Structure 1
């Protein structure tokens, strides 16, 4: 079992051996933190990290951790935990994960509910619009079996975020086949190299829309877990930015992270 922890800098990590720090964008950097593995080893897409975010760690795991029975993704600031917490002692243990996977197919972070905004509107208000519409067309043309679930997600106010999940190897390979298959087709159709700031992280944001689409299309069972976040969230700022994006058109955009 390996839960890769995507990180772009040295940071505190869980002590448990199942949590493996992966230094993302390593091909573009020089100093490797102690105890980390670079996402530029083996089969990789490390140089695409500015555009794919934590997904370069996911891609690395897809091809370089195929001997593991269970694979998962966490962020250096976010983990699945036994309770909502800011303490690493509360992250899921190997026993917690193994037990949960005897009951369900996939372990996910607790869903986010935006209440007054569906997922399509939320994305379009927060990000460049063209990539989203290209992805919708790719799903329609090349992955039609997923289109019903995609349209259902568009209308929902709820979503499982962060590209985080834990599952058995077979499902992990199927999930990543879908995610990277879709994104690679989108990549050929948008000028992502011209995007700046948060907009450059386009594929990481698009992929967040694909976890629920994949899970629901295949009618997989899942269990939600609260987040352990090592840094506290400013919910006043988060909420105000959300309302500005929705109601103040043309205003400078700030992402939901």
Structure 2
């Protein structure tokens, strides 16, 4: 049982027991600390610039033998409590100055006892616009169209959930972060990567900058939420995510103010 901590560089902060670092994009990223890598066994490490942390997720799907598994980032971890979204976390840090990563034992116990099926990031309101509008403001609309076409072709029963999610003002659990059983993850990954590989067949990223080339990581965040919405019977535990790089008080205050403006902006 482990939480894989996805990273593309050495991690400075010590990791708690049960948290295992994995270097992603290992075909081209240096590995001075000799972490486990995403380019062994069955893998898509070479696609890391387009798939981001999902090359780590693919490795977990195809190679991990753990009973329960999770995905965190080198600087993003699940807080020990659910106190709300990132703005709540900023306020907590401003007041207390500290945060604690939830123990892997707690996460595993929740899954083993069937108390929850998935532990995921507390949902965030991206802004006051529908999620479809929010995506195309920052990315390319055609990529959502290709994704819808792929779902229609491969999993048409998910199409209503996809449309409902993207055209609502619902919140979204970000970062592709989770903890669940390997069995649950395998089921989700088969669905997710079948869709993404189909989208990839119809995508031309030649004109995309480095940020926009991270397309399949961005799509994965949305699709994870579609999956959770579609499986409405799942018992989900939300946890606040904290960022170990959030140490500047002025920046945190600014984030809180901007977050409030986004919520009420029309």
Q: Same fold (TM over 0.5)?
A: yes
Aligned residues between the structures? 242
Q: Secondary structure at the match of 2:21?
A: strand
Tell me if 1:124 matches 2:124.
Answer: no
Dislocated runs of 4+, deviation >6 Å: 85-89
Seen in structure 2, the aligned counterparts of structure 1 residues 11 and 48 have a Cα distance that, compared at 3 Å, is same
CA contact (8 A) 2:2 2:104 kept: no
Q: Distance in 1 between matches of 2:99 and 2:228?
A: 29
- In the superposition, the TM-score normalised over structure 2's length comes to 0.83
* Alignment partner of 1:158 is 2:156: no
Q: Does 1:93 align with 2:91?
A: no
Q: What is aligned with 1:23?
A: 23
Q: Counterparts of 2:218 and 2:24 in 1: how far apart (Å)?
A: 16
Counterparts of 2:23 and 2:98, CA distance in 1: 19
CA displacement at 1:194 relative to structure 2: 3.7
- After TM superposition, give the deviation of residue 35 of structure 1 in Å: 4.7
Distance 2:171 2:193 in 1: 23
Name the counterpart of 2:155: 143
Residues 21, 35 of structure 1: 8 Å contact kept: no
Q: After alignment, is 169-178 or 148-157 more displaced?
A: 148-157
Change (3 A) 1:88 1:187: farther
Tell me if structure 1 keeps the 8 A contact 2:127–2:134.
Answer: no
Query: Are 1:3 and 2:12 an aligned pair?
Result: no
Alpha-carbon separation, structure 1, partners of 2:244 and 2:164: 33
CA RMSD of superposed structures (Å): 2.4
TM-score (norm 1): 0.86
CA distance in 1, matches of 2:169, 2:99: 33
- Residue 134 of structure 1 is aligned with which of 126, 146, 159? 146
Q: C-alpha deviations, 1:10-69, integer Å up to 9, x for none?
A: 12244333111111111123x31315111111111111000000101111111111x201
The question of whether the paired residues in 2 share the 8 Å contact of 1:117 and 1:157 is answered with no
Task: Name the CA distance, whole Å, in 2 between partners of 1:130 and 1:237.
Answer: 30
How far apart are the structure 2 equivalents of 1:37 and 1:173? Answer: 20
Distance in 2 of aligned mates of 1:112 and 1:136: 23
Following superposition, the deviation at residue 157 of structure 1 comes to 3.0
Q: Say whether the 8 Å CA contact 2:128–2:169 is kept in structure 1.
A: no
Aligned match for 1:80, one of 78, 86, 92: 78
Once residues 96 and 177 of structure 1 are traced to their aligned partners in structure 2, the CA distance between those partners, rounded to angstroms, is 27
Which runs of 5 or more residues in structure 1 are unaligned?
248-257
Deviation at 1:115, TM superposition (A): 4.7
